[in-house]
Amino acid sequence: MRARVLFFLVIFFTSTGFDQASKEWARETLQPGVVKPVIAGFWDWQLAQNSGAAFSVGAGEAHRTATHVGLGIVAAIALIAIGIAASRTRPEQGAKRIAYALIAGGALGNLIDRIAAGDVTDFVRWHIHEHMWPIFNVADASLLVGVALLLVEAWRNSRHLAPAA
């Protein structure tokens, strides 16, 4: 049991730490409105302050305070629910614990920004030439990878439990 909890906590705090460190780097290195290509035509660094949810969803809404408080409450509730769900995983469900830890780390990373600054720092811009994806950060990527991992695990389990044809 202790090893499972430690495993969860290491991934949780590592993902949160990478997120916070990368955002600090972005705030110190990048300038708003200035695009720094990493891979021309596909990947740029571009500093943005996001008042919305992950991947800039809801950014710039007129009811910014309500959005800020609402997203903070949702993140806090999600962190509690994820902790409970992770504590109920069985020893053989390591991938599920990793997924929960990544989701929790991403949620905490963005919650820290929201509480400390009122906005979330985003800085990664992926695009295919002129087709732009929303600007995101390490926390958003952790959330996405965690959810994808949960979906893969659910799909694998449903195939494993399905009756043979």
Provide the residue range defining the domain that includes 73: 2-161
* pLDDT (0 to 100) of residue 63: 45
Active-site residue, 140 included: yes
**Based on the structure, what is the number of domains in the chain?**
1
Counting every residue, how long is the chain? Answer: 165
**pLDDT mean by block of 10 residues, the chain; 165 residues:** 87 98 97 93 93 56 61 85 91 93 95 89 92 94 96 86 62
DSSP, res 57 = T
Confidence at residue 34, expressed as pLDDT on a 0 to 100 scale: 94
Neighbouring residues of 96: CB distance < 8 A, sequence distance ≥ 6: 86, 89, 149, 150, 153
| 32 phi, psi to nearest 5 deg | -55, 135
Residue 65: predicted pLDDT:
64
